[in-house]
Structure 1
Amino acid sequence: MPPESAESPGQPPSEEPPADLLAVLPRIIQFSAAVTKGRLAERATEAAGLPLDRPAMGVLLSLRTADGPLRIGEIADRMQVVGPHVTRQVQALEKRGLVRRVADPHDRRASLIEPTEAGAEGANRYVASLLGWFTEALTDWPPQDRDDLARLLARLVDDVTARLARFDEYGEG
């Protein structure tokens, strides 16, 4: 499927970017860093009671939010990383008893990854800590603003993820 525009996925636009997008980019980067690399992630990890690095916690969270066990490639897609990165994390989490491999009912040659009880409990504590923090941060927001945030954030993530998928498909970068 060809790109939707004449420009290749991931390439800068040929004209000046819109000022509103240029203004919001630093805020997106700031938010991303605050959530993933800042004190919030550290505090949530401490609350989870699992001294894990962010990539390992990312694997547990991917499994926590899934409808069932996942293949390594599915975890990698959810985390926007490559499979070997996830394989290393899964091996380390297995050694700690936080995930396990189970047979894929559709392909006995393949295995799926699922959290153990300890892994699921730790991921649940991590999520509860994040949700508690966000609940406090947004406590003064009217319900409509919270709904708008959820809707627009979902749309942003979906659109960026789709654009990245096209970028990967064309092998550019």
Structure 2
Amino acid sequence: MREEKIDFLDEKVGEYLVKIVRQGVSEDQTSEIYGMISIANDIESIGDLIHRNMMPLIAKKKELDTDFSIEGKEELMIYHQKVCRQIDHLQQAFAERDLEKARDIMAKESKYLDLEAQYRIKHLERIRHDRKESIQTHEVHMELMDLMKQIIVYSSNIAKTFILKCQPD
């Protein structure tokens, strides 16, 4: 239901903003409006990742009848916390119109992408060493990490657009 609301809002916000642009606005206003449309699309894309990709992984994981390795579970939890923190900072940046928070989100993107790569290597090392849990949960583990990484990238894109298009010079 949330996904449907996000899709609906993205569509209606986009339609409204395009209507405003067509009424004749300045070049700066047009740039700001296109920034808003881009942000709304990126937010909708995050919703799609969660609804269409992450949610089905719950059932897929339950079917496995095994849990992630202790290390794998810890890595997933740590990365999830970082993703949630990025989203929280993004919300604060918007609410407070705080460019520094938006810049911080962008700066952390590279750090978090590097962390995901490190976790991927650790996971593959567990597989190489025949860790039963890691082998059995490999597909779900890798999909979750990849989806969270995509959310990090979208969050950074939103922060970048916020800084470049939605703030007065």
The TM-score, its normalising length taken from structure 2, stands at 0.29
More helix by share: 2
Higher RCO structure (Cα 8 Å, ≥6 apart): 2
The TM-score, its normalising length taken from structure 1, stands at 0.29
More strand by share: 1
